[in-house]
């Protein structure tokens, strides 16, 4: 059974732009240039210490693992996106979907994330069930990989950058190797850009953050497990 919630007219252009980018993400994932980018040494704004490089290597491994799980189903993704284009009356032409997306800044990250939560989450079909699931899984990993890369090369938003520099100063390499890097580099960074982030708490032993309200104070028990960063 199909479940389709039509997009409001005022949101159509934004969704059309995001879906066009999604086609190019899939092209990149299936192409050879992304593999080349992933294996090239990264030149980070924050230097090339073991701590900084651990962020990239962790995310690259996460992507490789997820890609391995989904590889057999990748051919179901483009038919699903074509179906979304059709049922949502977006009018994207095939010529607009050519090319590969190999750079994801925070504006693009927001666009692609919103595509999932505001469109494809409510555009499903029994015929394209596997394609929809595979699209959501691989797009999340692609967004995480390429946004982390962009942040390392060009820089994080200022407040999150300050937090990251403190972490580099105070934490061991294992803190980054064992962490969930997109918490800081994607979720928190996008929240800062969207002006919805005031403070975060982070596990003491790995990158794993949670946004908290302004004025939040750690309890005595929490202080054993978390650091608090006021932004």
What are 148-193's pLDDT values in tens digits? 999 999 999 999 999 999 999 999 999 999 999 999 999 999 999 9
* Mean pLDDT of all residues in 85-105: 95
Work out the pLDDT band at 1, boundaries 50, 70, 90: low
Give pLDDT tens digits for 120-137: 878 888 889 999 999 999
Domain boundary among 155, 178, 205: 155
What confidence score (pLDDT) does residue 118 get?
79
Cβ atoms of residues 154 and 31 within 8 Å: no
CA–CA separation, 131 vs 134, rounded Å?
Answer: 5
The domain in which residue 192 lies consists of: 157-231
Q: What is the pTM of this model?
A: 0.94
Q: Are residues 98 and 196 in the same domain?
A: no
Instruction: Tell me the pLDDT of the chain averaged across its residues.
Output: 94
Domain boundary among 107, 135, 155: 155
β-strand partners of 123:
4
Give pLDDT tens digits for 9-55: 888 899 999 999 999 999 999 999 999 999 988 999 999 999 999 99
Q: How many domains does the chain have?
A: 2
Q: Are residues 40 and 97 in the same domain?
A: yes
Q: Which residues contact 19 (CB under 8 A, 6 or more apart)?
A: 81, 84, 85, 90, 92, 115, 119
């Amino acid at each position: 059974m199909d479940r389709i919630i039509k997009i409001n007219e005022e949101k159509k252009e934004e969704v059309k732009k995001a879906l066009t980018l999604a086609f190019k993400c899939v092209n990149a994932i299936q192409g050879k240039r992304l593999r080349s980018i992933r294996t090239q040494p990264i030149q980070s704004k924050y230097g090339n210490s073991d701590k900084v490089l651990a962020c990239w290597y962790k995310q690259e491994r996460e992507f490789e693992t997820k890609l391995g799980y989904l590889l057999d189903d990748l051919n179901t993704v483009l038919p699903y996106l074509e179906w979304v284009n059709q049922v949502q009356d977006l009018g994207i032409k095939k010529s607009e979907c050519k090319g590969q997306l190999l750079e994801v800044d925070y504006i693009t990250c927001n666009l692609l994330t919103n595509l999932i939560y505001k469109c494809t989450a409510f555009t499903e079909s029994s015929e394209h069930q596997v394609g929809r699931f595979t699209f959501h899984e691989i797009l999340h990993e692609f967004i995480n990989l390429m946004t982390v890369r962009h942040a390392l090369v060009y820089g994080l938003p200022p407040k999150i950058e300050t937090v990251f520099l403190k972490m580099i100063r105070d934490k061991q390499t294992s803190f980054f190797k064992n962490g969930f890097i997109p918490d800081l580099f994607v979720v928190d960074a996008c929240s800062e850009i969207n002006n919805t982030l005031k403070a975060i708490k982070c596990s003491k032993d790995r990158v794993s953050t949670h946004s908290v309200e302004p004025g939040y104070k750690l309890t005595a028990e929490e202080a054993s497990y978390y650091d608090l960063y006021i932004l």
